[in-house]
Structure 1
Amino acid sequence: MTWRMPAETAPHERTWMAFPREGTTLGAGAAEREAGYAAWAAVAHAIAEHEPVSMLVDPSETTRARRMLSSAIELIEAPVDEFWMRDHGPTFVTDGERLGAVDWVFNGWGSPAWAEWERSAGHARLIAALTGAALIPSDLVNEGGGIHVDGEGTVLLTETVQLDPRRNPGADRAGVEAEMTRTLGASRAIWLPRGLTRDYDDFGTNGHVDIVAALPSPGRMLLHSQPDPAHPDHAVTRELRALLSEQTDAAGRRFEIVDLPAPATLTDDHGPVDWSYVNHLAANGAVIACGFGEREADSRAAAILAEEYPGRDVVTVDAREIFARGGGIHCITQQQPAVAPNRAAGAQPAATAGGRP
């Protein structure tokens, strides 16, 4: 049996998310917390215009979730601490007939002191059971935001993520690549040496690729570009572009790299920002794109995304409150590919304990 992770542009059955709950990540004051809830809800509603959305909700947040989310979004009551579904949820794969769910080991991005992750570490198993997917356990500490595929055998990785000693002490490239072959069907791994500067702060992921690069179609790469020399990522992205321009994909093609320029804002109260339009979700018939309240930059990014994803509507959602908590739209979503023999597209999960009546 060969499992393969489809490209994000392949048809989806649904998108999975987790509703925020009170804690360090959400914020301290009432206004800060409300802004976080509202940002997650806005993304869910934007996606729900194009495909079903299932939302895991901690019992402590069920009343709020029912108030803030429309009836189009299915609520499933389950224990939640962290709510970055891309990272602690399953990575879905298929063998052409069946749906599989890779259950990476999740340790809160290297087990930092502030992270609460033990509850959400069980979400891959829970969602596999709800969807009827075959569970594919892995001993690798990894997150969905730390990988990106083209659906044809190419996977993007980052040395400071999969080889992070806080995640996988003693791991080497060969071992990680073998696991990517087993779980994702990857035959060609491309290693980035690092990620964006802000991602190495205390609340960062230590270099997730899904804020740096994306593969909108085989042979093409969207790459975050920081054009301002005053930002440390100007040098980082220039070096990454030089390296990636020499790489080939699983089919032996050299990448056509398309720069996706960062917005003009360089800093916030905590230092250089990592605002990135690369961190978007390709949904059914749409691209759910990050916006940063900058009309010119947001419009430029939307135009580039429209060109790279022909036939899809580009829907821009303000992502500043998500980035303030450590990620973007791609980080809080996880697509479930449509696999016709498994269940009809659009069907509801088999079990919805605590869901909307």
Structure 2
Amino acid sequence: MNIDLEERMSRMELTGSPVDHGYYMPAEWTPHSRCWIGWPERPDNWRDNAVHAQRVFTRVAAAISRFEPVTVCASSAQWKNARSHLPEHIRVVEISMNDSWLRDTGPTFVIRNSLSDKEKLGRSKVAGIDWNFNAYGGEDGGAYEDFSLDLLIAHKVLEIENAPRFPQSMILEGGSIHVDGEGTCLTTEECLLNKNRNPGFPKVQIEDELKAYLGVKKVIWLPHGLFGDDDTNGHIDNMCCFVRPGVVLLSWTDDKLDPQYKRSLEALSVLTSEVDAKGRKFDIIKLHVPGPLYLTEHEANGLQQGDAKPRIPGTRLAASYVNFYIANGAIITPQFGDKKRDDEAAHVLSLAFPDYEIVRIEDAREIVLGGGNIHCITQQQPASP
């Protein structure tokens, strides 16, 4: 039986919040059915027509595909190029996009453990939140001017997966939240309370939306994200993340003259004084940042003029080892060419995740040049419970 498009879209779009339907956002270490990754292209954000970034994105996708299925989204102009670079077992789908940050423009997947006989819509145990998006600030400091294609990515991904969709009018990027799957959400005031996101939303309203859409009971606000993370206004996934319930990794520096030191100290103060949704005190693991690293003139000269935010030589890069991806049985972690800190980070992660293989991605600097890193370019799709 054929179902017309309007009927299909109505059937796949759920009214109310995910919590209303029994959904919640699981922790990243929950088993995945798939990982979604974008394909870099725009020459005003990725140097030398993105050839270096594409090489590293390919390396990330191939590494993750050892542990779980991977889908790479590429534009029509880049599909053939992406397909030729990526291993055959990686699925490549054609999706138009303004830039390749699938963590932020793709859906936030939610799950539910049981199906209600009374539920008439969305019988799937996996669904997705389609947040609003304005390219990290819109007219007030956004990373690029035209984000019309990015607004459709989450919807298209959910259509491909035949997963129910929860539309959300609040502007939010996936990299601005981190959950433990047991009721606690981490975020930053620098990002979610920024006037360039949801200026009419007071803090309590944002918390209410996070609780209704992520299924969390408590939101812990760190004051700031990583120093230099101006593109995203301080996403949490560069600053702090959960290892497991009650345990977090925090970007750190021992250098009191480094501007990052104050931010890390502020975050440490909040985390030591807070408890999670279950009443647990946090075990805080410090993960030293690399460098500091700076954009070189050679790297900046490889960018073409466009509507993306200019990259100025000498700008400090927002490089963080916290920006890793938890795959099924592996930690896919960035390496920046700082041997001491690269080795140290791999060691710390191996202790934090003793049952996981630590996979180090060399040349992750190429991703941070564009404004993020491995966690930013990936989006996990949880397996059906």
What TM-score, normalized to structure 2? 0.84
Which position in structure 2 is the counterpart of 1:196?
Answer: 226
CA offsets 1:261-319 (integer angstroms, 9 cap, x no match) = 11233434433332111000000010000111122211211111112112110001021
Do the aligned partners of 1:24 and 1:114 also contact (CA within 8 Å) in 2? no
Which position in structure 2 is the counterpart of 1:267?
Answer: 294
The aligned runs of 1:140-155 (5 Å cut-off) are: 140-155=170-185
Which position in structure 1 is the counterpart of 2:251?
Answer: 224
The aligned runs of 1:314-329 (5 Å cut-off) are: 314-318=358-362, 319-329=364-374
2:279 to 252, 257, 262: 252
The CA deviation at 1:176 is 0.8
| Percent of aligned pairs with the same amino acid | 37
Q: Does 1:91 align with 2:108?
A: yes
User: SS at the partner of 2:78?
Assistant: helix
> Structure 1 pair 131/242, CA: closer, same or farther in 2 (3 Å)?
same
Which position in structure 1 is the counterpart of 2:242?
Answer: 215
Do the aligned partners of 1:265 and 1:273 also contact (CA within 8 Å) in 2? yes
Do the aligned partners of 1:280 and 1:289 also contact (CA within 8 Å) in 2? yes
The CA deviation at 1:240 is 1.4
Q: Does 1:105 align with 2:132?
A: yes
Misfit runs of 4+, over 4 Å = none
Task: Kindly report the root-mean-square deviation, in angstroms, between the aligned alpha carbons of the 2 structures.
Answer: 1.4
The CA deviation at 1:44 is 0.6
1:78 to 95, 100, 104: 95
Whose Rg is larger? 2
Moved more, 225-234 or 64-73: 225-234
> Structure 1 pair 21/9, CA: closer, same or farther in 2 (3 Å)?
same
The CA deviation at 1:113 is 6.5
1:132 to 142, 162, 165: 162
Do the aligned partners of 1:43 and 1:317 also contact (CA within 8 Å) in 2? yes
CA offsets 1:123-179 (integer angstroms, 9 cap, x no match) = 111111111221011111000000000000100111122222211012112111111
Letter in 1 for 2:68: E
Aligned length: 334
User: SS at the partner of 1:40?
Assistant: helix
Extract unaligned runs of 5+ from structure 1. Answer: 341-357
The CA deviation at 1:335 is 0.2
Letter in 1 for 2:149: R
Letter in 1 for 2:200: G
CA offsets 1:82-131 (integer angstroms, 9 cap, x no match) = 10000000000011141010010011011126344211221111111111
> Structure 1 pair 271/226, CA: closer, same or farther in 2 (3 Å)?
farther
What TM-score, normalized to structure 1? 0.90
User: SS at the partner of 1:101?
Assistant: strand
2:73 to 51, 56, 59: 56
Q: Does 1:288 align with 2:318?
A: no
The aligned runs of 1:168-207 (5 Å cut-off) are: 168-200=198-230, 204-207=231-234
Q: Does 1:313 align with 2:357?
A: yes
Distance 1:311 1:163 in 2: 37
2:34 to 14, 30, 39: 14
> Structure 1 pair 72/249, CA: closer, same or farther in 2 (3 Å)?
same
User: SS at the partner of 2:276?
Assistant: coil
Letter in 1 for 2:174: G
